[in-house]
Amino acid sequence: MSPFGRQNRQNRQNRNSGGGGGSGPEPHAGAVRLSLSRTSRRAGEFCLVLILVLLVNCTRVQVLQAKKYNDNAANQRAVIARYSEPRGDILVAGRAVTGNTRVESGAYTYRRTYTDGPLYAPVTGFSSQTFGNSLLEGVEDGVLAGTDSDLASHPLLNAISRAQVPGGDVLTTINAKAQRAAFAGLGSKRGAVAAIEPATGKILALASTPSYDPGTITGTGSAATANWNRLNNASTQPMLNRALRQTYPPGSTFKVVTLSAGLADGVYSGIDVPTDSPDPFTPADTSTPITNESASDACANATLRYALEVSCNTVFGKLGDDVGQSGMVKAAEAFGFNQTGQTVPVGVVPSVFDTSMTSKALLALSSIGQYNTAATPLEMASVTAAIANGGLLMKPQLVASTTRADGTVLKSFGPEEFGRPISAAVADQVQQAMVTVVTSGTGGNAAIPGVTVGGKTGTAQNGVGNSGTPYAWFISWARPGGATASPVAVAVVIEDSNANRADVSGGGLAAPIARSVMQAVLGG
């Protein structure tokens, strides 16, 4: 046998006997496998850590910081998705006043359109691919765009799949005939109208002139930008919602608040007793008297009914002084003044009655709707509605309900009380005085045959030293013959700088507009 044969046999025996003292391959291979197993485990553990870190970061980005990235102006995905499907509609009296048109080119599939755009712009606002959303298009964007989680029939499934939900609809409280009457009455004048249903707080009309067509700024490109710049640079401010977001000195229309405060505080027992009111009236801490517009009016010691009928500044200036600052502030705030954060659901700027006056003269001026007293047309419509509703003030509301695309109701909004600024007995007295304003006084242009109408004119001073054209106000409510409730209360303000000063009066300019709006509501 060769030496090589003997060596091979010996090697086989060593392997079979498991040893022999040599350093054969088996212990070496096991060490290698052990080393590889340890390395693999460590590599796997490291990969697991990386995966966990990745998951944590994904959670941070997609959940914790989702809003930050969604709201980033550079992120166009949400906007593109929003306009990839038709937007839901805003409805007036069951008819859509908005729409959508398909765009042939560009990143956005659909663009917003408007029916009677200028007529309903103070209600709808705009939805623009370039400039965002405003008014109802803004506050109800989630419903209209289909992003509101309540719209989904299967919320969890939609959240996982991120499927686009069809936009829902927003049904407004607007009365189409009243809205048209308000705009027709305002015409080319600069001003606003707000009309409310006293028993429910439903906003029946919301007009602001001059207006604009939201459809001209909904798209992209140079035309939309040019229209946007033109509207924003216009001195007449057509995009300003004067009914909700502009305050004016309410002038003599505020006297119904002062009258309510005086009766509620028991300064006088009724509207037909003489008042201890000099003419002129000079508050204790000033030498400057408060006078009346007409020297022929018998305002000295006049009754409250007569004082409202001819709008005696002296009587109501003194009445505010008699009630006192705390009493007048309490009365004004009960009617909704100094209310911050008001929404209908569109935001409304606060109406103001000064709470920090230290002068009786300033209190007297504030009590006749001057000095720092300032009100939106919606606020003065609310004051009027509370008086017409027996002293109960309802919260104004512009949305009746929201629905899914299939018409099922998502949310409905019923009447909600704000408070009771005056008792029913006081409200009845103020109603009687306001009726006299229309039947015998300065508000005759608001009279409607066969209808009980109560009103109050106002001519608010404006400008430095009262040099500007006064604002013309009129507030009113109407009750059909034989009815116990008033279905409409209206406030009108006109700030027309082109009017002749002698022609600017609440009774001359604003009362006819209020009458046409009330007739539109009463006529169905």
**Helix (H), strand (E), coil (C) string for 132-188:** EECHHHHHCHHHHHCCCHHHCCCHHHHHHHCCCCCCCEEEECCCHHHHHHHHHHHCC
Residue type, position 398, single letter: L
> What is the rounded CA–CA span in Å between residue 402 and residue 145?
13
* SS3 sequence of 82-142: HCCCCCCCEEECCEECEEEEECCCCCCCEEEEECCHHHHHHHHCCEECCCEECHHHHHCHH
Pairing of strands 409-412, 191-196: unpaired
Cα 259 from Cα 1, distance rounded (Å): 137
The torsion angles phi and psi of 67, rounded to 5 degrees, stand at: -65, -40
**What are the pLDDT digits (tens) for 77-133?**
666 666 778 999 999 999 999 999 998 766 778 999 999 999 999 999 999 999 999
SS3 state of residue 341: coil
Residue among 345, 322, 348 nearest 337 (CA): 348
**How far apart are alpha carbons 297 and 183 in whole angstroms?**
35
Q: Which residue segments constitute the domains of the chain, with CATH numbers given?
A: 243-405+412-522 (3.40.710.10)
What CA–CA distance (Å, rounded) separates 280 from 420? 34
pTM recorded for the entire structure: 0.85
pLDDT at position 20:
45
Confirm whether 260 is a catalytic residue. Answer: no
Contacts of 122 (CB under 8 A, 6+ apart): 135, 192, 206, 207, 208, 211, 241, 242, 243, 244
| Distance between CA atoms of residues 520 and 522, nearest Å | 6
Beta bridge partners of 401: 171, 412
Measured CA distances, 82 to 168, 169, 285, 411 (Å): 13, 15, 62, 22
Residue 149's pLDDT is what?
84
Reading the block at residue 74, the tokens are: 């550079």
Looking at 252, 260, 367, 505, which residue is catalytic? Answer: 252
User: Hey, how many other C-beta atoms are within 10 angstroms of the C-beta on 513?
Assistant: 28
Low-confidence ranges of the chain (pLDDT < 50): 4, 18-24, 156, 160-161
Q: What is the pLDDT of residues 223-242, one digit of tens each?
A: 999 999 999 999 999 999 99
